[in-house]
Amino acid sequence: MNRTGIEWATHTWNPVTGCWGPEGTVENPNRCPGCYAERFARRLQGRSGYPAEGDPFRPIFHNAQFDRKHSPLYRKKPARIFVSSMGDLWGDWVPEPWQEDVLAVCEQTPQHTYLFLTKNPFGYGHSTALFFPDNAWLGVSGPSLSEVLSREMEITAYTKNDETVTNIYGSLEPRYHWPTGAALDSIARSHSRLAWLIVGAMTGPKAKQYPVERVWLRHLVAAARQAGIPVFLKNNLAEVWGEPLIQEFPEGIVT
């Protein structure tokens, strides 16, 4: 577990790294363009648990992340922990025992908030054996608000409509046109189970091709306000939004 500069978390913990991408496989990876985690994995190849041979961004379970030096089990002070920031713990390719081992740590450390994030919401509910403790927040990310909302609804379906799964949040980095009126209306009228919305400008080599406009942010924040959904604007929106940035946390998350 390491301190992080990610503003909505205090630490990252990477018991599982690597990703084949949405609907990707070892034979046919489908990784997202400009993925920062893949870039870092290649930079760290042969170090920090990344293999020296083959694809360093292939899914890997890191036993060392459960020892005394790295595991959240040995941190008493509450933390907001972004889990598997260097991969996707909920990809179809991830063995269920890996997920169970991670969730067991969450359950044993109720003082922490664990923030999961995926583009594959099916992974949250593909097994009835998986148990999500109250300090686990299930996040979905996407390049448009419509996709984030669609993936949020899939969490509900894939967790068997379990009403106890209420810690759902979305992370939006717009890569296409800004939200449609229908998507904004879905949030404003609480047609969504989102309990938190994180918004940031796109990062990576092609970020300048997808600028964010202030009017878009105003509409999005207004819709979230109407629905009572806390909003967290990432630091890379400071020039667009102005100061101070809105950086809210929902109830139940360590602050």
Residue type, 74: Y
Exposure pattern of 96-126 as b/e (b: 16+ CB <10 Å)? eebbebbbebbeebeebbbbbbbbbbbbbbb
In angstroms, what CA-CA distances link 168 with 58, 124, 157, 205? 27, 11, 13, 29
98 Cβ contact list (under 8 Å, min separation 6): 15, 16, 61, 89
Mean pLDDT over 18-23 rounds to 82
**Which span out of 39-53, 86-100, 141-155, 187-201 was modeled with the highest average pLDDT?**
86-100
pLDDT single digits (tens) 202-243: 766 666 666 778 888 888 899 999 999 999 999 999 998 988
Q: What tens digit of pLDDT does each residue of 27-59 get?
A: 787 777 777 788 878 887 878 888 888 888 889
Ordered structural domains, the chain, with CATH: 2-21+32-241 (3.20.20)
Higher-scoring residue by pLDDT: 248, 24: 248
pTM of the model: 0.90
